Chains A and B, each alone.
Chain A
């Protein structure tokens, strides 16, 4: 490969990586906000993303509802599904078993139920495509070719992240969430409604996943297995340290770029290995992740 081509590949890899990375970053953010507050890695995050995509597909393509109804309806559905799962299922699990293992298994159960449900509806049988709402014309940035849709995805994802950060850092609700993340018992003592706070966080995590699904849906063929990209989001979260919100986002972009580079420079068959290799490298070189702090001492 000559240098000229390598440079073009490099630019293309970064541009495409930022676009797919923004989706991984959103999903990683959704995973990390739950982990920070519930200490549960939600293995159903990918299926929530997938199911939200199908809800939008059903409403928009099959029911032919206008987009200004489809978008909020999808987000509300994702919020409710996750909030209710937290409230009805996980609160009951936490009541009957103290160990975190049980909560994690319950999220695995949810992932299977969602996947099975989508397949049952019949929409999940064949790959479907979601119509793009913005033009897919190409534009050149440097020597990389991207579409208007790509730029919209990146822009919208960044806007969602900014909105979430503002909420998390500057509103009363965000303060309550941070308090729960640091010390749930103390947060409860100062008047945070723990159950409601958890429901809100899980709901928001659902909304963020749904937004990711709505953004990426026009670019991919939808199948009931599309939730498996969550692996890349988990990798992103690990790269970022798993409990850092900025870490999740930076990790998402890193994973997106690495994935595209592997595809361009090595082989598209090897893309599947990218998340595993990324996790492995982080575990070897910097196990606490890029943004993860030192482990705190457990008080005894």
Chain B
């Protein structure tokens, strides 16, 4: 199970190839490149949320932790004058430390109570950004978060260039997806799914449930903290409102529409729904209404989400061959 079988390998390879070639395909259109970057962020957000889901819970504090990473990196730039290359890792560490600290009490709660407790955590994080004005900038947020410059002696890459940032985001989101995938297909991943299926049973087979939960949550939050830092330096402006509950909810929607059992689910969901949202931009109220329709339709008509489509197609062909 550690080895990827061939069809999946081809699918992932093709996706990566398309992602790599995407700016060329769209003729370096700056706006479509922007959409690509947003897709990358959403994929990272949904995938890391899925990692928490492998424990059987959904964290509504996810956007909040993304905000922690973003704020940490932005403050490192503004208060210490260090570029994103430092902010990224400092952000990830702060995020991981906070996640570890909070998950100790948080993981005592279960199932639906966990949703709500994590929601309270996310909300308190957001409101602290707003409340401590002098340090975090209040509702005003933080402006002018510069993208980094990479100095490789012979060549300089300025990430204010959107195509360059696209590849940077792609690199990190690929790494994120890869890390989540590797953990999931390892022994540890199996333990997570055992906890997902039946916590009590898992505990009785000698698994330290609490410790695994805390570690998994911390890793996922660290990864989303990195995404947050990248987000901050791309948007160049962040405020507490950028990380409210709706962001976590939309990540959850991506997850559900995409599928819950494999890492392909959140990736497919985030890509397709970000594009749908962009297409609907000109349609006013119908943007929200249609989004709701897509969500309900996919749950009721496509149980299991987008990830089940290959299986369904295969099922059709197999039925045909029986005739």
Q: Do A and B come from one complex?
A: no
Interface residues of B (CB under 8 A from A): none
Query: Which residue numbers of A lie inside 8 Å of B, CB to CB?
Result: none
